[in-house]
Structure 1
């Protein structure tokens, strides 16, 4: 029961972050939950909240089909990469999976805190999108999160703000479904786990609503900076946890 209460609090926090900056729910949820449960279980609990909050995010944007067509090879790459790496997170020991998750979070946070703002040349997008998708799928299969390298890549495409938020939602939606199929095929997403994931939807939606309410009242840039710093610390802890 204590673990479930802690998980509900984690999902309120994760939903709040997503409500403010448009991303972060799987990253926060899996990262924090991995402090108390194996990463594979954390990823399974994250699935329903991630799926439905991304449906919300995707539906709110104006350019669903144009963006989906543009990102088609990226999305296909994510699905193929997740399938190719299927079972990594479920088959790995908790220590290895935790360390891999920690390193991924540190890389993502480090890039987010750096002054680097790369841009993808227009001519590179057709061949780079499927490569980034494949890499994202493999990382997702191994850690349960799908921000690397998909998020930096989408940010480097130079999309308008609303299009970027919707593109992130589309990408995360496909990645969540692909990861869900992978975890189901490995027997991780069993009945009790699926029900727990469903139960975590309510706190995630509450957190997301709160984040959207306060979005206009706080500095999104400052919030994002502290979010990245928090991820960096969390990632370092998870990476070093097996050695402690």
Structure 2
């Protein structure tokens, strides 16, 4: 148990470094690790407050770089609705199904990044897809705690500047968290004990974010991506094994 808690704290710190550097990536590190030790519902519940607070802070910090209001409104409406649907699925699905889902989504994200590293989503196409993308991302985040295969892929494919990417992805995750937290509480998934752990998890996360901000000035984003991709493959394989064992 103590080993698991230490590893989870280290995962949040590493996720904080990544978030400070590129604005995203925390759930794809911390949710699979927490799920390995305590199951997906626990992982999603404990990640709730760190997601809300870190994305709220980054969204405000980079607010000058936000995309047009219409795009953001459609994105957040879809994400909020999807998070509500996903939270209900989280309460209804079995542990092995959820762990297998997280593993599959993680591997899908890695495969897409390697297969289409230079794919660019034109802005007029992104404007048409924004609400469906937000909806699917919200469902994935609510049900399994990881929306990266849709959320990060969709926004990064637009090839936005770093500041605009961080601002937009933070608003997306913030919208999902605002809906997800009361939904998880009402469904009995976010318990008082898990809420306290969720609050405690903010400490290593916020501790790592300034480090990521500094490293971003000296290290290419591609370097971070390679490290995360390698880590995700290992974690996803372990999750898939746990789901079928």
For structure 1, list consecutive stretches of 5 or more residues without a partner in the other structure: none
Q: Name 2:55's counterpart in structure 1.
A: 54
What residue in structure 2 maps to residue 159 of structure 1?
A: 160
Give the Cα separation in 2 of the matches to 1:121 and 1:15.
30
**More displaced, 60-69 or 165-174?**
60-69
Q: Where do 1:207-226 residues align within 5 Å?
A: 207-226=208-227
What is the TM-score with the length of structure 2 in the denominator? 0.91
SS of 2:16's partner is: helix
Tell me the TM-score normalized by structure 1: 0.91
Matched, 1:175 2:176: yes
* Structural mapping, 1:27-46, within 5 Å: 27-46=28-47
Match in the other structure for 1:198: 199
Local SS of the residue matching 1:71: helix
For 1:122-133, what aligned pairs fall within 5 Å after superposition?
122-133=123-134
Q: Is the 8 A contact 1:110 1:228 kept in 2?
A: no
SS of corresponding position for 2:216: helix
Structure 1 distance, partners of 2:123, 2:217, is 33
Superposed CA deviations along residues 57-95 of structure 1, whole A, max 9, x for unmatched, are 112214366545422112111111222333212322211
Matched residue SS, 1:217: coil
Deviations 1:91-110 (A, max 9, x none): 22211111100111111112
The residue aligned with 1:9 is: 10
Q: Is contact 1:12–1:203 with CA below 8 Å preserved after alignment?
A: yes
Q: Partners in 2 of 1:77 and 1:21 — Cα distance?
A: 23
Q: Distance in 2 between matches of 1:75 and 1:222?
A: 30
Contact 1:68 1:170 survives alignment (8 Å): no
Structure 2 unaligned segments of length 5 or more: list them: none
The number of aligned residues is 244
The CA deviation string for residues 107-149 of structure 1, in whole angstroms up to 9 with x for no partner, is 1112222344333334333431111111112212221122231
Match of 1:112 in 2: 113
Q: 2: distance between equivalents of 1:128 and 1:115?
A: 19
